[in-house]
Structure 1
């Protein structure tokens, strides 16, 4: 299994307010859409997305086999917070939780 953490998605309740703060910190975003604002920070993706802020930011691990990795983690005791969903051509994501409720994001095909 090849894995790498290459992105963090930060849920925000007010995208415009969050964008002002993160743009002041990280510079202009490379993607600025109503559903996603993305910044490239030295090759690491920091993204803002409108959503439920209760779960906090999620670091996404890039994996070769999203379904296989998901099944392995579920068998090891993780639980599912969000089922796999298509977010871009050739890219799917899901979020699992460890036994303490910490989020584990998976991104793959």
Structure 2
């Protein structure tokens, strides 16, 4: 089971306010610009803005670990004491996501690309 930290998602209340701020910070325009998600990519790092994040319990930025087998990794984290926040979900095109919370309340996101 390999994992790499390549994505961080920020919960935002107003995409119209957050989008230009992150564009200025990262120095790039978004590669994805939808009402439900805005994504930036710079030097191999993805930074996403989620206007629904607060409603789903995100209290701050969430790192998303890219894994080769999301279901296996999720099962291992749950067996190790993590609390399930979002079960495996296909967010389009075969891309899977899930999230858990550790014993200290830290959020951990998992993602698996369709090619994995």
Query: TM-score under structure 2 normalisation?
Result: 0.88
Q: How does 1:23-62 map to 2 (within 5 A)?
A: 23-26=23-26, 27-53=28-54, 54-62=58-66
Counterparts of 1:8 and 1:67, CA distance in 2: 20
Q: Select the residue among 85, 89, 94 that pairs with 1:90.
A: 94
Provide TM-score, normalisation by structure 1: 0.93
**Whole-Å separation in 1 of the counterparts to 2:71 and 2:59:** 22
Structure with greater strand percent: 1
Question: d(CA) in 1 for partners of 2:87 and 2:105?
Answer: 16
Q: Distance between the aligned counterparts of 1:20 and 1:10, measured in 2?
A: 14
Alignment size in residue pairs: 109
How far does residue 76 in structure 1 lie from its aligned partner after superposition?
0.4
SS at structure 2 position matched to 1:67 = helix
1:60-75 correspondence to structure 2 within 5 Å: 60-75=64-79
- Indicate yes or no: 2:15 matched with 1:15: yes
Structure 2, gaps ≥5 residues long: none
Q: Is the 8 A contact 2:99 2:108 kept in 1?
A: yes
d(CA) in 2 for partners of 1:15 and 1:61? Answer: 24
What do you get for the CA RMSD once the two structures are aligned?
1.2
